[in-house]
Amino acid sequence: MVPVSTASLSLEVSGLAFAYPDGHQALFGVDFTVPRGERVALLGPNGAGKTTLVLHLNGILSGGTGTVTVAGLPVGKRHMAEIRQKVGIVFQDPDDQLFMPTVREDVAFGPAAAGLKGAELEERVRTALEQVGMAEFADRPPHHLSFGQRRRVAVATVLAMRPEILVLDEPSSNLDPASRRELADILRSLDVTVLMVTHDLPYALELCPRALILSDGVIAADGPTGKLLSDDALMRAHRLELPFGFDPRTVALDA
């Protein structure tokens, strides 16, 4: 990787190690950086430590060793309120994120809790819904929407906070092909740093020029997504398998 200045980094993780209270060691010293505006896939088998790592990015988990820095701010009690605005996590199940009577109220919830009101709050909600193509559904109850639409609204709830980093947990899961494509188009259009946790390797290749492989609590590989997915020995070593018939070496990607 080409070195980048600290000022241009959205995320810097250094020596991050963590053990749960029962003694299970999930992370053993994770090191990586993500420059502003980059889209990066976080890959790895079940049990690799991906969820544990993500929960450190906004301070939900802490108490281990090492550091996490978001847009120059160390993740810790002193900056926690600002960090949690800068790191927006979109959960795998949108129903874990949507709980208000209408789409508009769900998207407004975070900014309103942060103190926005009136015209500024309305503008924040409108912009976020437009970014995900859901403005016309603002007054609909979320449970009346399709799964794919609910996932887009879940993304909007995070975008309304204007995060530095958008963290997506299995964004393509349970989506039909059209919804999958629509979400991909939205993610490409966003001017935000993206960390995408996924087992959907073709989706990672489509959206993320760079990938990290987390395995046994450490970063086992870091490089161009196509190159990593084309390394058969690397893939086997870390229990990663491509769909039948899919060859990343033959996929033509947009420049």
Task: Render 111-132 in DSSP notation, one character per residue.
Answer: HHHTT--HHHHHHHHHHHHHHT
Q: Residue 1 has what pLDDT?
A: 46
Q: What is the CATH number of domain 8-99+164-242?
A: 3.40.50.300
pLDDT of 4 > 80? The answer is no
pLDDT digits (tens, 9 = 90+) for 188-231: 999 999 999 999 999 999 999 999 999 999 999 999 999 999 99
- Residue pair 144/67 in contact (Cβ under 8 Å)? The answer is no
Quote the CA–CA distance of 217 and 239 in Å, as a whole number: 14
Mean of the per-residue pLDDT values of the chain: 94
Q: pTM for the full model?
A: 0.93
Quote the CA–CA distance of 247 and 198 in Å, as a whole number: 18
User: Domain boundaries in the chain?
Assistant: 8-99+164-242
pLDDT grade for 251, boundaries at 50, 70 and 90 = confident
The proportion of the chain whose per-residue pLDDT surpasses 90, expressed as a percent, equals 94
